[in-house]
Structure formats: structure tokens, C-alpha cells
């Protein structure tokens, strides 16, 4: 779709209504012109989707209506499994927040069907023991919490999330990369036991 005034193809969708044919109210990102477009619902098309699961990713295709609008954080179902959109790449090669399916080259998503994998590092005064745990994506790590991990007790003193390092507060497991803790003596009351969540493939000590 092109702006009738300046022919720019970048637009913001202000309104969209209708099912089989859609009336769109669009605002040109170049000149600010507001214009209407009516699109009739076409057959679903196959769009490339890259789904990340932990460190690996897999490519697949998903059938979607070309006039459907997708945005980051939308949830799609593919082969009965839910994935969340993390980025949308258009045919022009830019990664944007929101787009019509007809303009999409690749959807980047991450699987919701799997737990969040989080590293836990315990500092024994220079010697660091590291483990990985698989926990619910909604699980919250609070700084100051005491975790039981096998026969080890540790107190969280900082968290590394996708974006930053935290020394206070909490973070959801889905955005937490690593939990840093100090060992405690046995017998201390703990907030939660993650022993059964330890990923069995051993991680090398760092
Ligand atoms: Zn324009």
C-alpha cells in the first residue's frame, strides 16, 4: 500500500475493521497523510517463521491471511504449539514492531511451549559453581531469595537479564539469563527448591 500523496510505503495502521474485507485507516509515516484502503480477504499465504528454543532455532512455515496484522508479543499457534513473536522482518529487510502479513518476509518467534532456561552461578569466594535450571517462564527470581539446589543453599545477590544487571528487585525467568548467588550454611530456611529443575547435562565450572 502506498500513500496517495507521496507514494511512501511505510504506514501506521490507525484503524482496521471487517473480516472478509478489511477497511483500513492508515497514516503515512513519511508525510503524515491519513488515507483509507479496503482490502478483500485473500487466501492464506505461507510465511517463513524462525522459532528459537533455548540456544537453537528451527525454521518453519505458517499459513496466515495476507491482510492480518501481526505485532511483537502476539501469540501464534504452529503445529499445536504456542510461540510468541519477538520480531517481524519485512520484505524491505527492516525489522519492525508491527506489520501486515502481506509485507512480512520472516517472523521471528520464541517457543512458549518450553520452560525458561536460566543459569545459576554460586560464588564460593573465587571458585564459581554453575548450573542451569528449567523453570516456568513466569517464575520470578527475587534478589535476597534463598534457593535450594540439590544439597546446596544459596542466596540471590544479583540477576542478569536480557537487558541489564540487577542488584535489587526481581525478574521473570523468561527474561533472566543468569542468577548470581552466595552459598549459605545448611539449615537456613529457603524460599524455593529448584533441585528437580536442574538441567542434567553438566555445565563446566566457570
Ligand atoms: Zn505520504
| pLDDT (0 to 100) of residue 1 | 80
| pLDDT (0 to 100) of residue 206 | 44
Give the distance (Å) from ligand 1 centre to CA of residue 159: 45
Quick one: average pLDDT of 127-139?
93
Residues of the chain with CATH 2.40.30: 42-113
pLDDT at 92 over 90: no
What protein residues have CB closer than 5 angstroms to ion ligand 1?
Answer: 3, 5-6, 8, 28, 30-31, 33
For cell 505485532, the residue is: 71
Give the predicted TM-score (pTM) of the model. 0.55
Angle (nearest 5°) at CA 179 between 174 and 184: 140
Give the distance (Å) from ligand 1 centre to CA of residue 2: 8
Give the distance (Å) from ligand 1 centre to CA of residue 35: 9
For cell 534463598, the residue is: 146
More confident residue, 107 or 138: 107
Give the distance (Å) from ligand 1 centre to CA of residue 4: 7
| pLDDT (0 to 100) of residue 81 | 85
Burial class (CB in 10 A: 0-12, 13-18, 19+), 102: middle
| pLDDT (0 to 100) of residue 205 | 46
Is the distance from CB of 10 to CB of 30 less than 8 angstroms?
A: yes
Give the distance (Å) from ligand 1 centre to CA of residue 205: 57
pLDDT at 6 over 90: yes
Give the distance (Å) from ligand 1 centre to CA of residue 25: 13
Give the distance (Å) from ligand 1 centre to CA of residue 7: 6
| pLDDT (0 to 100) of residue 201 | 67
Rounded CA-CA distance 166/170 in Å is 8
Q: Quick one: which of 154, 152, 153, 175 has its CA closest to 165?
A: 175
Give the distance (Å) from ligand 1 centre to CA of residue 27: 8
pLDDT tens-digit readout, 30-89: 999 999 998 777 788 999 999 988 778 999 999 998 888 999 999 999 988 889 999 999
Q: By mean pLDDT, which of 9-23, 97-111, 128-142 is the weakest? A: 9-23
Per DSSP bridges, beta strands 192-193 and 146-149 are parallel
User: CATH fold of 42-113, please?
Assistant: Elongation Factor Tu (Ef-tu); domain 3 (2.40.30)
Q: Quick one: which of 110, 107, 114, 113 has its CA closest to 61?
A: 107
Amino acid at each position: 500500500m502506498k500513500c496517495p500523496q507521496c507514494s511512501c510505503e511505510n504506514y501506521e495502521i490507525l484503524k482496521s475493521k471487517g473480516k472478509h474485507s478489511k477497511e483500513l485507516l492508515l497514516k503515512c509515516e513519511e508525510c503524515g497523510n491519513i488515507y483509507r484502503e479496503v482490502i478483500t480477504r485473500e487466501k492464506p499465504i505461507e510465511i517463513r517463521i524462525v522459532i528459537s528454543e533455548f540456544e537453537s532455532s528451527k525454521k518453519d512455515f505458517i499459513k496466515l491471511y495476507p491482510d492480518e496484522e501481526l505485532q511483537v508479543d502476539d501469540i501464534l499457534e504452529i503445529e499445536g504449539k504456542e510461540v510468541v513473536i519477538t520480531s517481524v522482518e519485512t520484505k524491505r529487510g527492516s525489522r519492525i514492531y508491527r506489520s501486515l502479513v502481506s509485507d512480512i518476509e520472516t517472523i521471528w518467534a520464541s517457543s512458549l511451549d518450553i520452560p525458561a532456561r536460566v543459569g545459576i552461578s554460586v560464588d564460593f569466594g573465587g571458585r564459581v559453581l554453575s548450573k542451569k535450571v528449567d523453570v516456568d517462564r513466569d517464575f520470578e527470581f527475587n534478589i535476597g531469595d534463598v534457593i535450594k539446589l540439590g544439597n546446596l543453599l544459596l542466596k540471590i545477590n544479583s540477576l542478569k537479564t536480557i537487558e541489564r544487571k540487577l542488584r535489587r528487585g526481581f525478574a521473570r525467568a523468561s527474561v533472566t539469563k543468569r542468577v548470581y548467588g552466595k552459598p549459605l550454611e545448611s539449615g537456613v530456611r529457603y524460599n524455593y527448591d529448584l533441585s528437580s529443575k536442574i538441567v542434567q547435562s553438566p555445565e563446566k565450572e566457570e
